[in-house]
Structure 1
Amino acid sequence: MSGLAAVLAKRTPPGIYRWHGAFGISEVQHTVEHAGWRFAYVDGWHGGTKEELLAAVGEALAFPESYREGGGANFDAMADSLLDIHDDTILLWDGWGPLARTDPQAFSVALSVLGTRVNAEREGAFAVLLRGDGPEPAGVPSLD
């Protein structure tokens, strides 16, 4: 977990990274939480649509009910809710490849919205780990 450990120790800046760590979810969660960070998990293997991603992110990050009000979650609501996160947070997105393959535009927007929170000058670092196979996302370095 050396790449992840570097992010948790803040030797590597928070960002969006491809991560190939073959560790179990509970092991990753334990490592993240032991370092004092909040852990959130999205399972993209069982839902490869924009709507399923928005729901999964909202659930993983415990967004308020208002996130789903007004006809459902959308990327604007996700962006607003992400800005309310003030804890150091790791979001592990397993299985991002299905969305990237079936709806590249939604995947690109999702990365853009997540990247906005990564780069926001807010209290609490925010990092996203893309784990699993998929097309090479432009501008996303590997953490390994």
Structure 2
Amino acid sequence: MSGLAPLLARRHPAGVYRWEAAYDVDQVASVVHAAHWSFHHVDGVAAATKRELLAALGVALEFPATYGQNLDALADLLDDLAGPTLLLWDEWGLLAREDERTFATLLQIFSERADDAVRPPFAVLLRGAGPEVVGLGLLD
């Protein structure tokens, strides 16, 4: 899985990336688990609004029932992730187009967590069509 392997082997920095690979979610999960990372998936078609996405992230990332489903709670709970974590967000462009402000805040939250060298690695792969995002790298 081309660009994914160096990321999982920690030869490529954790972060938020666009990813154009068309692998099945189960295949991606298998590769990620084999590298001893936890894998989480969100389908943006089923979570195209801020409220839906925050709820879907809570389920995908296995947050406690007390998760407040807001951006502050998301940021706090990302800090509590116990090991290397990869989040695959399919069809992210739906939210990015409909709610640019929320999308920008999510990118900031994800990027800040990914840049935290004290905590275990965290990476987010944005897969599917979406608007151009300045400064967002491509994992190939």
TM range (shorter): over 0.9
Q: Is the 1:44–1:53 Cα contact (8 Å) retained in structure 2?
A: yes
**CA RMSD between the two structures:** 0.9
Once residues 51 and 98 of structure 1 are traced to their aligned partners in structure 2, the CA distance between those partners, rounded to angstroms, is: 13
More helix by share: 1
Q: Does 1:98 align with 2:91?
A: no
Q: Does 1:126 align with 2:129?
A: no
Query: TM-score if structure 2 supplies the norm length?
Result: 0.97
Partner SS state of residue 36, structure 2: coil
Q: What is aligned with 1:107?
A: 103
Q: Which runs of 4+ in 1 moved over 6 A?
A: none
Q: What is aligned with 1:5?
A: 5
Once residues 37 and 47 of structure 2 are traced to their aligned partners in structure 1, the CA distance between those partners, rounded to angstroms, is: 26
Q: What is aligned with 2:74?
A: 78
Any stretches of 5+ residues in structure 1 without a counterpart?
none
Residues 69-122 of structure 1 show CA distances to partners (whole Å, capped at 9, x for unaligned) of xxxx11000000000002101000001000001111111011111112111233
Q: What is aligned with 1:139?
A: 135
Percent identity, please.
Answer: 49
Once residues 10 and 58 of structure 2 are traced to their aligned partners in structure 1, the CA distance between those partners, rounded to angstroms, is: 25
Q: What is aligned with 1:34?
A: 34
Q: Does 1:61 align with 2:61?
A: yes
Once residues 52 and 137 of structure 1 are traced to their aligned partners in structure 2, the CA distance between those partners, rounded to angstroms, is: 22
Query: TM-score if structure 1 supplies the norm length?
Result: 0.94
Any stretches of 5+ residues in structure 2 without a counterpart?
none
Once residues 66 and 47 of structure 1 are traced to their aligned partners in structure 2, the CA distance between those partners, rounded to angstroms, is: 20
Once residues 35 and 101 of structure 1 are traced to their aligned partners in structure 2, the CA distance between those partners, rounded to angstroms, is: 33
Once residues 52 and 136 of structure 2 are traced to their aligned partners in structure 1, the CA distance between those partners, rounded to angstroms, is: 22
Q: Is the 2:79–2:119 Cα contact (8 Å) retained in structure 1?
A: no
